[in-house]
């Protein structure tokens, strides 16, 4: 059973008011608990943590995990033996199930991220309850008493823009807040909508608060303050900025990547998981007074693709608008979308082993064509490159590469 939501709210408030030492202690205790759970209930972690001390409070003792590695061992990774990769893939592939929960208890989210490997993430009821508690803490930080009164009593609205659409937008982000009195005042919007349409929808909705999307692997990662820093919910998340050799990076220095440990979600433990973002931790206290660690995320920039319409005007799409539709196609292990000109795109795909490359390619072509047509870009020429996705010199995959006029 999930911890009682009221207790989570009180805990969250206490942590926000507490000192750095108290927060660090809570985080160590939560980490130790999650490691015990992972070792007990996940065959994957049991094997990987063999030989480690019985009690773990120092995260640096734990091996790194990656999406490619965890996805390759999905059935051993999950802590509920009733859930298999085949079940989740079938669930995600069925549009009739959008808005429903897998096995009646898990919300499913998909992601590609910077490595281009498709990830399937399950959000359990504890994680949903923590997401709600963190959202309430965010609201009480962001809003003046007057704003909060407007939100709760006089019809003020909260808008959430979700990255992945489909199951996630109608599930985790929205459902966690669409309860009780606030139901009609919380709107979930998808980044897959055309930008002008999204802006028009948000303007029409007139929200008091616009909540950003967070990493799918940890939906309650952080929230921003009025000084433009993101404060990490460090009572439920451990973030470790590291260099290319996974060694700690000092505060104030941009990291190569960041390791995330989600201390709430028990169905699919995420421990020292390479998120692929470069982050910088603020070395001094944030002027907003929030004691939670303040970071700036520098990686995974929201590249924009600009296309020419037949009438000469420009249409702009976010890279997520295109990449997120490919995340939902089964049988594609890696994909890369390259804009080759103002009216042309090419796709590079790496099919999963045992998949028919022709049918995966056809599905990808159809889905991208559908998105382009929705945005009035039916004239954009879309080709399939027979080559697999190209990697950067550092071995990273850029999932979407916008065209830059030279």
Taking the least distance from each CB to Zn ion, the nearer of 178 and 296 is: 296
Q: Under the criterion CB under 5 A, does residue 288 sit at the interface with Zn ion?
A: yes
Q: In whole angstroms, give the CA distance from residue 126 to residue 7.
A: 12
Shortest spacing between CB 214 and Zn ion, in angstroms:
16
> Distance between CA 297 and CA 9 in Å, rounded?
26
Q: What are phi and psi of 187, to 5 degrees?
A: -115, 135
Region of 6-14, 113-121, 286-294, 336-344 interacting with Zn ion (CB under 5 A): 286-294
36 binds Zn ion, rule: CB under 5 A: no
Quickly count: other Cβ atoms within 10 Å of residue 231's Cβ: 24
Phi and psi torsions of 346, nearest 5°: -130, 150
Per rule CB under 5 A, is residue 225 in the interface with Zn ion? yes
Question: Which listed range, 182-190, 278-286, 370-378, 386-394, lies at the site for Zn ion (CB under 5 A)?
Answer: 278-286
User: Does residue 85 bind Zn ion (CB under 5 A)?
Assistant: no
Q: Are 191 and 198 spatial neighbours (Cβ–Cβ below 8 Å)?
A: yes
DSSP, collapsed to helix, strand or coil, labels residue 334 as: strand
Q: Which is nearer to Zn ion, 286 or 297 (CB)?
A: 286
For the chain, how far is it from start to end, CA to CA, in angstroms? 57
- The CA distance from 371 to 368, in Å, is 5
What is the nearest approach in angstroms of Zn ion to the Cβ of residue 281?
A: 12
Q: Of 50-58, 120-128, 156-164, 218-226, which part binds Zn ion (CB under 5 A)?
A: 218-226
Least distance from C-beta 177 to Zn ion, angstroms? 22
Q: How far is the CB of 220 from Zn ion (least distance, A)?
A: 17
CA-CA distance, 114 to 146, in Å (whole number)? 40
| Dist. CA 360–CA 350, nearest whole Å | 9
Specify whether the CB–CB gap between 122 and 91 falls below 8 A: no
Regarding 229 and contact with Zn ion (CB under 5 A), the answer is yes
- Considering the rule CB under 5 A, would residue 286 count as an interface residue with Zn ion? yes
Residues touching Zn ion, count (CB under 5 A): 6
* Region binding Zn ion by CB under 5 A among candidate stretches 170-178, 195-203, 227-235, 265-273: 227-235
Footprint on this chain of Zn ion (rule: CB under 5 A) = 225, 227, 229, 286, 288, 290
């Amino acid at each position: 059973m999930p911890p009682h939501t009221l207790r989570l709210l009180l805990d969250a408030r206490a942590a926000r008011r507490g000192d750095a030492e108290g927060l660090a202690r809570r985080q160590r205790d939560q980490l130790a608990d999650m490691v015990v759970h992972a070792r007990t209930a996940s065959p994957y972690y049991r094997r990987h943590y063999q030989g480690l001390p019985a009690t773990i409070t120092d995260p640096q003792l734990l091996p790194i995990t990656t999406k490619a590695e965890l996805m390759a061992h999905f059935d051993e990774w999950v802590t509920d033996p009733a859930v298999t990769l085949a079940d989740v893939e079938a669930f995600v592939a069925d549009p009739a199930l959008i808005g429903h929960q897998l096995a009646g208890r898990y919300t499913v989210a998909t992601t590609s991220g910077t490595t281009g490997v498709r990830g399937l993430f399950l959000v359990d009821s504890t994680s949903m309850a923590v997401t709600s508690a963190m959202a309430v803490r965010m609201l009480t930080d962001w809003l003046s008493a007057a704003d909060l009164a407007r939100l709760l009593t006089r019809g003020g609205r909260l808008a959430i823009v979700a990255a992945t659409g489909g199951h996630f937008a109608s599930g985790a982000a929205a459902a966690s807040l669409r309860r009780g009195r606030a139901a009609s005042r919380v709107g979930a919007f998808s980044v897959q909508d055309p930008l002008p349409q999204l802006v028009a929808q948000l303007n029409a909705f007139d929200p008091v608060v616009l909540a950003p999307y967070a990493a799918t692997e940890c939906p309650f990662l952080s929230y921003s303050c009025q000084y433009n820093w993101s404060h990490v919910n460090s009572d439920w998340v451990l973030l470790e900025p590291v260099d290319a050799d996974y060694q700690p990076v000092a505060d104030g220095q941009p990291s190569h990547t960041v390791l995330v440990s989600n201390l709430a979600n028990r169905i699919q433990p995420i421990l020292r998981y390479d998120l692929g973002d470069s982050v910088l931790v603020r070395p001094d206290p944030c002027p907003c007074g929030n004691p939670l660690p303040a970071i700036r995320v520098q990686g995974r920039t929201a590249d924009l693709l600009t296309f020419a319409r037949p009438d000469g005007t420009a249409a702009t799409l976010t890279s997520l608008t295109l990449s997120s539709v490919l995340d939902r196609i089964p049988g594609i292990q890696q994909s890369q979308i390259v804009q080759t000109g103002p009216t042309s795109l090419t796709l590079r795909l790496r099919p999963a082993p045992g998949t028919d490359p022709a049918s995966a390619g056809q599905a990808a072509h159809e889905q991208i064509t559908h998105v382009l047509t929705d945005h009035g870009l039916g004239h954009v020429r879309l080709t399939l490159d027979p080559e697999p996705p190209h990697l950067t010199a550092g071995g990273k995959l850029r999932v979407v590469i916008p065209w830059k006029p030279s």
